[in-house]
Structures are given as C-alpha cells and as structure tokens.
Amino acid sequence: MTRYIIRRILQAIPLLFIISVILFALMMNMGDPLATLGGRQPPRGEDRLRLARQLGLDQPIYMQYIFWLVGNDWMRFDTTGDGVPNTYGTRRGILRGDWGTSLVTRRPVVEMIWQRLPNTLLLMGTAQVVIIVFSLAIGIYSALRQYSITDHVITTGAFIGYSMPIFWLALMLMYIFAVNFKKWGLPYFPTVGMYDPAVGRTFSQVVWHMALPVATLSVTAIAAYSRYIRASMLEVINQDYIRTARSKGLPERFILWRHALKNASLPLVTLIGLDLPLLLAGAVVTERIFAWPGMGRLFLDHVERADYPVLMGILMLVSIAVVVFQILTDIVYTYLDPRIRYS
C-alpha cells in the first residue's frame, strides 16, 4: 500500500508539470496586464518599458515560466534599462514555496488566496454537506420504491434539476425568496454579500446570507448525485448477500445502512472525491451572482486583468487538490471494499 501511494505521488509530478505548462502558455496570451494598470491612463512609452522590465514581462515566455517555477534570484537583471544586468531577482519560484506576487495589487498571491479561501470553503463545504445528505435520502428512497409514482416524479425532477443552468436557478430563487417574499411581507433572504455591513459579521448574518447561494449550488448537484445513488443502490439491493441478511432476520434498517449502503457508496465516494477538490475553486457563477467574496470571484476579477500569477496560483492549487483527492479516493476504496488491492 505504501509503495502504491509513493508510486502514485511520483506519477502525479509529471502530470502537474504538464498542467502547469498548458496553463502558463494560455495565461501568457490572455491579454495585456500592463494595459489594465494605471487606471484611466495606461502606461505608455518609456514608462511601459520600465514597468514591463520591473515585472519581468519583457522576458520570453519560457524564461517567465522558469522564473515562475524556480524563481529568478540566481540571475542578474537589467532594471535600469542601460543593457547592463545589475540586480538579482527576488522571486523564489513555486517549487520553493513562492507563489508569486499579483501584477495588479502587488500583494503575494498566497496572501490573496488565503484571504478568500475560508469564505469559499464555508459556502462550498456547507453546500457539499447539504448535497450529500439530501441526495442520499432521495436516492435511497427512490431505489427502495423503484418504478413507483414517487420514483418517476423524483426521476423527472432530477432531470430538470440537472438541466438547469445554475445562474437561472439563482435568479429564480432570488426572485421568489428575496423579491416576492419582501413584497408579501414575509421574512426575505438577502441576495448580496456575506453579511449586512450595518450589523457586522455575526454568525446568524452569515447563515442568513448563505441560504440562497447554498440552495442554488445544491439543487443541480443533488439531482446528479441522487441518480448515481439510486442506480448503485438498486444494483446492490438485488444481490444475494442482501437476501441472506434478510433471511437471517436482520432488521431492515440495519441491512440498509450497514450492508447495502457500504457497497453502494463506492460510486458516491468517486463522485465526492472528484468534487471535493473543486470546493477550493469556489463557484464562479454563484459567487458572482450573490457577490460572495470567495475564490471564484477572485479568479473572475483577475481574469479580466490578465493577472497571471494569481490565476496560476488558484488553478495550480486546485489541480494539486484534484490529484491529492484522486489518491485519497483510491485509499478510501480499500477500506470500503477489502476486495480491492493495489500492488
């Protein structure tokens, strides 16, 4: 097992390397970061050249990639523009823990991500819990009543939920629970931000502000998850060992939760393993609509300004998380299904 894990980690390294090359090549052509600096008066002429030199944007792409990867403190640069390299670089590169500095805010990328990450994890984590609880309940319920009217209704509902663009769902929810509830004099949900600035960041404020975004994020995912759970539950429930358990006289609830669910949860673990790392990325669309100050918003804001260190930071963080969670998923498999052995 240990050898398997070590091999997987070793395999992940070239994978992450390829990802970083693909992303970096795309980043370099996303637009001109210098044009977005300086507000209404973008730097021109000599200013522009000087700025490009200072930010290292005058270097060829492959050099910029190398600097991003391993830093540039081993090399002298010409910062004055007289053609003579005079000062050493200051960057240490992502391999040595330096995620770079934002071109726009001049703040370290790690600091910017660190500031947004808790907000995103709060929103996405809550949504993930809601998703798992509801989809388990719905999936198991409709599996136990296969082809009943309720099952058909749930199936149709799942298809509709699955086909709905998140932003449209968000708009509908806002229209019903914020706009119309307000009109009808009912307690209505807020639609913008994490808390009311007048009240401050209290627990109840955040929960209240989280309701609609969490609902938005959950509906489509519950639709997809509950389908998988229903399918795998159906497969397991008709197997011999469940019949054996029944004929032994075990209580139905015990059979369901201990015997059936453990085997039926394998596909669910795959799904969660694929989705958990994406929690870090936040939800671009949902965060934008509800003005939630998370990673998705950070990404969108900096895409517009072609701020590649921030974008690379976010995307590499997520890619690393994806790879780590794939390995973790495989390890969880061996616990859930002892028949699986890795060599």
Residues near other proteins (CB under 8 A) = 14-15, 18-19, 22-23, 26-27, 29-31, 159-160, 162-168, 171-172, 174-175, 179, 191, 278, 281, 284-285, 288-289, 299-300, 303, 306, 311, 314-315, 318-319, 322-323
45: left (phi over 0), alpha (psi -120 to 50) or beta: left
Between 259 and 302, whose beta carbon lies closer to other proteins?
A: 302
Measure the CA–CA gap between 336 and 64, rounded to whole angstroms: 45
Distance in Å, CB of 221 to other proteins, minimum: 14
Between 135 and 220, whose beta carbon lies closer to other proteins?
A: 220
Between 172 and 186, whose beta carbon lies closer to other proteins?
A: 172
Measure the CA–CA gap between 134 and 217, rounded to whole angstroms: 13
Torsion sign, CA atoms 213, 208, 139, 228? positive
Torsion sign, CA atoms 107, 36, 304, 312? negative
Between 229 and 256, whose beta carbon lies closer to other proteins?
A: 229
Measure the CA–CA gap between 140 and 146, rounded to whole angstroms: 10
Between 67 and 299, whose beta carbon lies closer to other proteins?
A: 299
The pair of three-digit structure tokens given for residue 82, joined into one six-digit string? 């007289």
Distance in Å, CB of 29 to other proteins, minimum: 5
Outline where the chain has alpha helix (H).
2-27, 45-55, 61-70, 109-144, 149-163, 166-173, 181-183, 203-237, 240-247, 252-254, 261-281, 284-289, 295-303, 308-336
Distance in Å, CB of 68 to other proteins, minimum: 16
Distance in Å, CB of 171 to other proteins, minimum: 5
Query: SS3 for 248?
Result: coil
Is residue 173 within 8 Å of residue 216, measured between CB atoms? Answer: yes
Distance in Å, CB of 282 to other proteins, minimum: 10
Query: SS3 for 192?
Result: coil
Distance in Å, CB of 153 to other proteins, minimum: 13
Between 29 and 343, whose beta carbon lies closer to other proteins?
A: 29
Is residue 55 within 8 Å of residue 68, measured between CB atoms? Answer: no
Between 206 and 300, whose beta carbon lies closer to other proteins?
A: 300
Q: How many helices (H) and strands (E) does the chain have?
A: 14, 2
Distance in Å, CB of 97 to other proteins, minimum: 22
